[in-house]
Amino acid sequence: MEADAAGALGGRVFGAYRLESALGAGGMGEVFLARNASGERVALKVLLPEASKNDGLVAMFMDEASIMAQIHHPNVLAVHDFGRVDGRYFLAMELLEGQSLAYLITEAHAKEGRLDRGVIATIGAHAARGLHAAHTARSKNGEPLEVVHRDVSPQNVFVTYRGSTKLIDFGVARAAERLAWTSKGIYKGKAAYMAPEQVARNAPDALSDVWALGVCLWEAITGGRLFLRDNQFHTMDAVMKAPIEAPSAVAGLPPDPLDEIVLRALERDPARRYPSAQGLDEALTGYAKATGRAEVAALMGRLFPDAPLPAPRPSEDRELGSFAGRTEDLDRPLRRSSAIHAAVGTLASELAPPGARAATEHKDASRIERPLFRERTTVILIAFFVALAATLAALALVDREAVEVRPLSAEP
């Protein structure tokens, strides 16, 4: 079915875009390499016809477009356009050429034995910078958007071959202006990166994202998984109770000041963490400067000398590295947040009444649809829907693809 869906639009004009090739398809939509009217290449995410008829899914799609379009920062994936063509909703985004941090961790530890701590600090600082931009973003009326990413993970931190870092995938982000809503007891995000307060069913905030980035840093240093266990219940239990050792000690490296930075981000008491993502950024930037310039681009060149040829990637049931891919990094972001926000508002008014939308969202909030990317071209989209949801009472996996099930050591 995915092959048929991917071929349905490939090779034709879609609104203002000319579709060049299909990059991937999943249960909710498909992704294309396309060119806009100016000839610039973009990643075009298009909901499938069935999904476009589901008010709950459409509301989540609109939320992602609206949120990302109002965050203007070089360390956050840029959204160019949003709209609807022939009844199908689409989202046009910049293309990024590089790899996810997940795949970078896998390759660095496999090929060089470890990932340089200066490089980790630099990547982490840039990701924290993007998070701070999201946390402090304001609407066109100057009101705080109160954005919380809620899905910070190595899969959603993207490193370009030029050495820059981009925060991607705000598909499950919480914001004040969301159209979709999350029912009480429904979890959004990956369990192994949830902060303790999220596991305890408290509302996540900016410091929850700081925790999640701390987990990413710990895993980048050690090459292993911090909280992942054999099932979701044990993973959440580990988040709440498992000892958190200094990452350098786990990696067999000498003690390092970076350990203190990471461990502070991983304080279970939010009041003991860095007060903001900016605070974490400053600490990591200070460490990187003290240890010398980290050549992220040089590392990418060593690890991926054949870029932009497609690199092998683990199968979908292997979380770390599962979103590795490459797309083109455009340095000319086309910011149209006001137009996108207006388009979202116009289209939102056409949705079903709030009661009907809420009922639909409640039904679909417990599902995650993960695209099964096919490496058919040198360009692979990284930013697509990733949302984990499960009821704590049932403690059951509602979608097997949504939960990490293998440690990094299991990666090839």
Number of domains the chain is built from: 2
Q: What are phi and psi of 46, to 5 degrees?
A: -125, 125
Asked whether residue 378 is domain-assigned, the answer is: no
* Distance, C-alpha 28 to centroid of its chain: 17
Whether the bond into 308 is cis, omega within 30 of 0 = yes
DSSP 229-260: -SSHHHHHHHHHHS----HHHHHT----HHHH
Residue 151 known to be catalytic: yes
Domain identity same for 200 and 291: yes
Residue type, 387: A
Nearest to 196 by CA among 235, 244, 153, 236: 236
Look at residue 246 in the predicted model and tell me its pLDDT.
98
Asked whether residue 307 is domain-assigned, the answer is: yes
- Under 8 Å between Cβ of 310 and 378: yes
Asked whether residue 380 is domain-assigned, the answer is: no
- Interacting residues of 271 by C-beta distance below 8 A, sequence separation 6+: none
Domain identity same for 147 and 256: yes
State how far the Cα of 25 lies from the Cα of 7, in Å rounded to an integer.
10
State how far the Cα of 273 lies from the Cα of 266, in Å rounded to an integer.
7
What tens digit of pLDDT does each residue of 92-135 get? 999 888 999 999 999 999 999 999 999 999 999 999 999 999 99
Domain identity same for 285 and 258: yes
Domain identity same for 401 and 365: no
Asked whether residue 236 is domain-assigned, the answer is: yes
What tens digit of pLDDT does each residue of 323-353 get? 233 233 223 332 344 444 444 444 444 444 4
Q: What are phi and psi of 359, to 5 degrees?
A: -65, -40
Q: Which of 137-146, 307-316, 319-328 has the highest mean pLDDT?
A: 137-146
DSSP-assigned beta bridge partners for residue 148: 174
Domain identity same for 17 and 121: no
State how far the Cα of 160 lies from the Cα of 296, in Å rounded to an integer.
9
Angle between helices 296-303 and 117-135 (to 10 degrees): 120
- Under 8 Å between Cβ of 138 and 312: no
Among 63, 81, 151, 256, the one annotated catalytic: 151
Asked whether residue 384 is domain-assigned, the answer is: no
State how far the Cα of 273 lies from the Cα of 111, in Å rounded to an integer.
33
Asked whether residue 379 is domain-assigned, the answer is: no
Domain identity same for 368 and 396: no
- Interacting residues of 229 by C-beta distance below 8 A, sequence separation 6+: 235, 237, 238
Residue type, 211: W
- Under 8 Å between Cβ of 195 and 155: no
Residue type, 42: V
When the pLDDT of each residue in the chain is averaged and rounded to a whole number, the result is 74
- Under 8 Å between Cβ of 365 and 56: yes
How far, CA to CA in Å, does 365 sit from each of 119, 240, 330, 373?
37, 24, 33, 23
As a whole-number percent, the residues of the chain with pLDDT over 70 amount to 67
**Domain interval for residue 313:** 99-322+390-410
Asked whether residue 209 is domain-assigned, the answer is: yes
What tens digit of pLDDT does each residue of 260-269 get? 999 999 999 9
Which CATH number do you get for residue 127?
1.10.510.10
Which CATH number do you get for residue 352?
3.30.200.20
Q: In the predicted model, what is the mean pLDDT of residues 233-246?
A: 97
Domain identity same for 188 and 293: yes
What tens digit of pLDDT does each residue of 58-67 get? 887 787 777 8
Give the HSE-up count for residue 370: Cα atoms under 13 Å, Cβ half-sphere. Answer: 22
pTM of the complete model:
0.72
| Residue 265 CB neighbour total at 10 angstroms | 26
More confident residue, 403 or 34: 34
Domain identity same for 236 and 333: no
| H or E element in which residue 67 lies | helix 55-69
pLDDT greater than 90 at residue 229: yes
Domain identity same for 265 and 357: no
**What are the helix (H) ranges across 291-374?**
296-303, 337-348, 354-364
| Residue 178 CB neighbour total at 10 angstroms | 19
Domain identity same for 235 and 351: no
In the block, residue with structure tokens 């939102």: 348
State how far the Cα of 90 lies from the Cα of 80, in Å rounded to an integer.
11
Domain identity same for 249 and 172: yes
**Residue 377 pLDDT class (50, 70, 90 cuts):** very low
Nearest to 154 by CA among 369, 408, 385, 366: 408
- Which three-class secondary structure state does DSSP give residue 35? strand
- Interacting residues of 113 by C-beta distance below 8 A, sequence separation 6+: none
**Residues 35-69, buried b or exposed e (16+ Cβ, 10 A)?**
ebeeebbbbbbbbbeebbebbbbbbbbbbbbbbbb
Asked whether residue 365 is domain-assigned, the answer is: yes
Domain identity same for 122 and 60: no
What tens digit of pLDDT does each residue of 48-91 get? 888 888 888 888 778 777 788 888 899 999 988 989 998 898 98
